[in-house]
Amino acid sequence: MPIAPNFTSVFSKDWEINFTQCTPNGYLKYTDLCNFLQLTAAAHSEIGGISFTDMQEFNQAWVLSRMRVEITELPKWKDVITVKTWINSLENSRSVRALEVYVNGAKMVGSETFWAVFNTKTRRPEALALPYAHFEIYPEKKATEKPFSKITLQDEKEMVFERTVVLSDLDIVNHVNNVKYLEWCLDLVDEISILKQKIESFEMNFLKELSLKDTVIIHESVTEKASIFNITKDDKTCFALQLNWK
């Protein structure tokens, strides 16, 4: 679709949190937090003419490569959150996008995300085929205190779960959606730590896509201040998650 008349380079969207998006204590799930971030980025790309539908004319899609999320406090049931987003960099096949979450004007969450353009037929990265010069870039306007990084995997790790990818894990790009990886790992974390909001920040690295019926192994290693998960297929790491504890 063409660039929307109301397009702006800094975009914000309000969302109301419903009960299906909350844990038993009434606070937003970390997975649904990431869904809100992903959906807001998609809404911004749509009014800017570089949405999934636009890109599919060239067999392209945006895929998430790295993500850092810093949390001061989680929103709760019935809160109306405002998610604000803008682009830090956009060139050829890569883009860094910043996102922030506010409730009643108070910032609760900051996120820095790294996206790549992916050809959905060849399953390879390539340069964006659509024009994007109308997006103003804000390289100095950061949403997080620290940038995303490459997660260092520990040599000492424990196999904690094995699973097979099922249909409900897949998204419209026909691979496991990024939030599903997070869900798989958080389901293996002590529930008290989740309910008491002990996660100060987390990072995710997406390395290789997973498809229907792939069998994967989830490994965990624990340090004093972090829990690190990595998901492997045929002994090759496809995903890494680092949970940083308060």
Tell me the per-residue pLDDT of 179-194, one tens digit each, with 9 for 90 and over. Answer: 999 999 999 999 999 9
Based on the domain organization, do 160 and 113 belong to the same domain? Answer: no
Q: Are 186 and 30 in contact (CB under 8 A)?
A: yes
Residues 134 and 164 in one domain: no
132 in the same domain as 100: yes
The predicted structure's pLDDT at residue 156 = 75
Mean pLDDT of the chain: 96
Helix axes 30-47, 178-186, angle to 10 degrees: 170
102 and 182 in one domain? no
Selected residue with higher pLDDT from 224 and 93: 93
Q: Look at the chain and report how many structural domains it folds into.
A: 2
Q: For residue 193, what are the domain limits?
A: 149-246
Single residue among 128, 147, 166 that ends a domain in this structure:
147
Q: Do residues 66 and 182 share a domain?
A: no
Specify burial of residue 104 (Cβ count, 10 A radius: 0-12, 13-18, 19+): exposed
- Co-location of 48 and 128 in the same domain: yes
Q: What is the pLDDT confidence band of residue 167, given thresholds at 50, 70 and 90?
A: very high
Is the same domain home to 131 and 164? no
pLDDT band for position 48 (50/70/90)? very high
Residue 1 scores a pLDDT above 70:
no
Same domain? 201 vs 96: no
Q: What is the pTM of this model?
A: 0.95
Longest dimension (CA), the chain: 54
Same domain for 123 and 188, yes or no, is no
- The pLDDT value given to residue 154: 80
The domain that contains 75 carries what CATH number? Answer: 3.10.129.10
Question: pLDDT at position 47, please?
Answer: 97
- Rounded CA separation 65/137 (Å): 19
| Residue whose tokens read 């097979």 | 164
Show the DSSP H helices in the chain as ranges: 30-47, 52-56, 178-186, 191-195
